[in-house]
Structure 1
Amino acid sequence: MKYLLQVTAAVALCAGVAHADVIKVGVVGPFSGGAALQGRNFQAGIEAYFALHGKTVGEHEIEVIYRDLPAADPGQSAALTQELIVGEGVQYLAGYYYTPDAMAAAPILEEANVPMVIFNAATSAIVNASPLVVRTSFTTFQTSTPMATVARERGISKAITVVSDYGPGIDAETAFVRAFGAAGGETVQSVRMPMTTVDFSPIMQRIKDSGAEAVFAFLPAGPQTLGFMTAFVENGLKDAGVQLLAPGDLTQESDLPVLGPNAAGMLTTFHYAVSHNSPENIAFIEAASNWLGNPDELSFPAVGAYDGMTVIARMIEATDGRQDAAAAVEAVKGMEWISPRGPVSINPENRHLTQNIYLREVAEVEGKWINHELQVFENQGDPGWVAP
């Protein structure tokens, strides 16, 4: 409540402003610490958008103000969000890598008259936290559900799930178990790990003891996924023929040079691969890589940020710079465009992104490890969303 009271005073000061020459966008993300590369990808996506489309919308110039949140910290997320609104006067909020951080900031939005565009956080329920939340990333329900179909098509009948114990992990587990069971598969065990887990050997032993033919895993992309993947191989599970299935967080492109042969042949389902072959993606990769300096650092959070800026630009255009969060969100309901990831649209009912989900296989092509697209699940909504 203290955040809402402080934000109200700031909103009252600007309530009569009809236009603004500079539109400030506040971006919260991990720009230091173990997940700093994900924050750099937020920046790369934003800078790619500016390189390809410019920083102005009509007479208005976009200014981006960053705030660093190195690890999931709901209290700090709320404080940084308040600071951006009150101290910096931002009209739009964006970013939010982890679900708990987005959920902590969402109650501030309506009182502040500010929309939030989610670049990454992947729990389905975030959009129910405020009518001013719009998602340009994905949900783990959306990326995990097709993997159950893939597993059954490959003759897998028994699986174990292993996920990080927070919103997206629980969503991923629920999505896979539900769809796998509906297709005739059996989940023999479900394991939830603390987000702070770094020693995965006990988890690997549980997988061995389960007798499962495959493990479906979810961890947030970053250092933990590298640790998990390494432990899977070093504990002999790959050599034993256990299939490792996951949404694409576990094989983000920036990790593939390190994973290399350890990940060869691994199947994932995801909304984006850097290897996606389209004119839009080629242009995006060039612009984002120019900013990063190292093309191997490019990963999926960049496309969420790039498309997020596409949505924010439409909001600014629709409101002609006025601070009117409800009108801004209304203007993008049903919006359709061609993203670097393929055709996308914003579901007007729940403000989730409808998009293609791709089955990918880790493969070495011309000396470079990539997520090679094998199959397309077209126009996937969010099967995990439940109306409030």
Structure 2
Amino acid sequence: MKRLTLLALALVLSGGVAIADTIKIGVVGPFSGPAAQQGRNFQAGIDAWLALNGNKIGNDTIEIVYRDLPTADPAKSAALTRDLIVGEGVRYLAGYYYTPDAMAAAPILVEGNVPMVVFNAATSAIMNASPYVVRTSFTTWQTSTPMAAVARERGIKKAITVVTDYGPGVDAESAFVKGFKDAGGEIVASVRMPMNTNDFSPIMQRIKDSGAEAVFAFLPSGPATLGFMKAFAENGLKKAGITLLAPGDLTQESDLPALGDSALGTLTTFHYAVSHDSPENKAFVAAASKAIGDPASLTFPAVGAYDGMYVISKMIEATKGKQDAKAAVEAVKGLSWISPRGPVTIDPQNRHITQNIYLREVASENGKSINKEIRTFEKQGDPGWKAP
């Protein structure tokens, strides 16, 4: 018996027998507080992937370790990230809803030998913060640039921009302004709002007084976007003939019932709609709806998490479960697959996701408001990324 035990040990050490291991994935996101719904979507996307694929990769078992970050808090993000790496021994990090939180965590990755897969944070500059960052969400440059072309094609000559004053908002403003001006349009004013803005009446008055035919708006999805959309309707801007243009954060599916008919006709450009018509999306929506419990709460962060889990699974396969952040990231550069959102690729140069961006119109189908895809901008990279 002793000889058999020694023989088994020798086979293990020589690579003859694979050792099963538990691989922890640390997920940082807003699981409480005003943006808790977005954290629930992170979890729904993860749970959907596990339901459809299982929790094993080879002989290894995946374990998800969650950490709550209710609001943007870079110092706490860094602390939670260190705790996950040192205290929990996670080999992969994921989530990160707000840009400041992802930026604060990025410098820790090389030291910890851990890759980070960003499920949401949308500033282009995140990809230059560490070579170990991969993104499966979007950037606001990516989702906003096509809207400038749409505006000009529809005859809009003068526009005002209104954005939240932080990384993604500035990126969205820059993307729209560049595209709109390049196409011969005029920006009559640009307004940047503090992140804690919740009274939008003065903003609506500035839009009315600007003489613009359209407003391009960006706010981080959550209570603020719902408040902005309601203020737009209640202050009569739509009746005054001012067109609202935005990336899809402003019409996330979970807000559409509360907005009602006031949102109908709103144009957005985005990487995903729950109504996207494909077999992959139908399977995803069914699994994610079951996971979240309330299908009406399902929205875009779930697909970033779902695809993020796919990327992490490929990292684990490539490294055979070993902790090697550099090899894990190298393995997914150029990775392509069919996501619930459509065909996607991890750009080998900047590790950001190349994907279709869809022009959507809020429409009513079968008594329910949806983001109806009416045009596709194929294979969109990140126009805001600049090589370091």
Partner of 1:250: 250
Instruction: Please tell me whether residue 76 in structure 1 is matched to residue 76 in structure 2.
Output: yes
Partner of 2:110: 110
The Cα shift of 1:320 comes to: 0.5
**Deviation string for 1:213-254 (max 9, x for gaps)?**
000000000000011011111111011010000000000001
The Cα shift of 1:20 comes to: 6.1
Secondary structure, counterpart of 2:163 in structure 1: strand
Partner of 1:41: 41
Partner of 1:123: 123
Q: Tell me, in whole angstroms, the C-alpha distance in 2 between the residues paired with 1:206 and 1:294.
A: 38
Secondary structure, counterpart of 2:363 in structure 1: strand
Partner of 2:164: 164
Q: Tell me, in whole angstroms, the C-alpha distance in 1 between the residues paired with 2:347 and 2:249.
A: 23
**Structural mapping, 1:1-388, within 5 Å:** 21-388=21-388
Q: Tell me, in whole angstroms, the C-alpha distance in 1 between the residues paired with 2:79 and 2:249.
A: 28
Gaps of 5+ in 2: 1-17
The Cα shift of 1:293 comes to: 1.3
The answer to whether the 8 Å contact 2:252/2:299 transfers is: yes
The answer to whether the 8 Å contact 1:19/1:321 transfers is: no
Q: Tell me, in whole angstroms, the C-alpha distance in 2 between the residues paired with 1:35 and 1:68.
A: 11
Partner of 1:7: none
Q: Tell me, in whole angstroms, the C-alpha distance in 1 between the residues paired with 2:74 and 2:262.
A: 35
The Cα shift of 1:19 comes to: 6.5
The Cα shift of 1:292 comes to: 1.1
* CA distance 1:73–1:20, change in 2 (3 Å): farther
The answer to whether the 8 Å contact 2:347/2:354 transfers is: yes
Q: Tell me, in whole angstroms, the C-alpha distance in 2 between the residues paired with 1:310 and 1:278.
A: 18
For residue 376 of structure 1, what is the amino acid of its counterpart? T
* CA distance 1:20–1:195, change in 2 (3 Å): farther
The answer to whether the 8 Å contact 1:181/1:187 transfers is: yes
The Cα shift of 1:212 comes to: 0.1
The Cα shift of 1:294 comes to: 1.2
**Deviation string for 1:36-78 (max 9, x for gaps)?**
0000000000000001111111011110000000000000000
Q: Tell me, in whole angstroms, the C-alpha distance in 1 between the residues paired with 2:191 and 2:20.
A: 51
The answer to whether the 8 Å contact 2:144/2:247 transfers is: yes
What is the TM-score normalised by the length of structure 1? 0.95
The answer to whether the 8 Å contact 2:23/2:62 transfers is: yes
Partner of 2:6: none
- Which is worse superposed, 230-239 or 272-281? 230-239
* CA distance 1:19–1:74, change in 2 (3 Å): farther
The answer to whether the 8 Å contact 2:161/2:187 transfers is: yes
Q: Tell me, in whole angstroms, the C-alpha distance in 2 between the residues paired with 1:289 and 1:383.
A: 33
Q: Tell me, in whole angstroms, the C-alpha distance in 1 between the residues paired with 2:124 and 2:190.
A: 20
The answer to whether the 8 Å contact 1:20/1:322 transfers is: no
For residue 95 of structure 2, what is the amino acid of its counterpart? G
Secondary structure, counterpart of 2:345 in structure 1: strand
Q: Tell me, in whole angstroms, the C-alpha distance in 2 between the residues paired with 1:251 and 1:55.
A: 33
For residue 232 of structure 2, what is the amino acid of its counterpart? F
The Cα shift of 1:335 comes to: 0.1
What is the TM-score normalised by the length of structure 2? 0.95
The answer to whether the 8 Å contact 1:272/1:358 transfers is: yes
Q: Tell me, in whole angstroms, the C-alpha distance in 1 between the residues paired with 2:142 and 2:275.
A: 20
Partner of 1:8: none
Q: Tell me, in whole angstroms, the C-alpha distance in 1 between the residues paired with 2:139 and 2:61.
A: 31
The Cα shift of 1:91 comes to: 0.1
Percent sequence identity is 77
Secondary structure, counterpart of 2:334 in structure 1: coil
Q: Tell me, in whole angstroms, the C-alpha distance in 1 between the residues paired with 2:291 and 2:305.
A: 14
* CA distance 1:105–1:19, change in 2 (3 Å): farther
**Deviation string for 1:55-113 (max 9, x for gaps)?**
11101111000000000000000000011001100000000000000000000000000
Answer with 1 or 2: which has the greater Rg. 2
Q: Tell me, in whole angstroms, the C-alpha distance in 2 between the residues paired with 1:172 and 1:306.
A: 25
Secondary structure, counterpart of 1:168 in structure 2: helix
Secondary structure, counterpart of 2:265 in structure 1: coil
Secondary structure, counterpart of 1:386 in structure 2: coil
Gaps of 5+ in 1: 1-17
The answer to whether the 8 Å contact 1:137/1:353 transfers is: yes
The answer to whether the 8 Å contact 1:27/1:95 transfers is: yes
The answer to whether the 8 Å contact 2:19/2:59 transfers is: no
Q: Tell me, in whole angstroms, the C-alpha distance in 1 between the residues paired with 2:19 and 2:340.
A: 32
The answer to whether the 8 Å contact 2:353/2:381 transfers is: yes
Cα RMSD (Å): 0.8
**Deviation string for 1:141-183 (max 9, x for gaps)?**
0000000010001000100000000000000000000000011
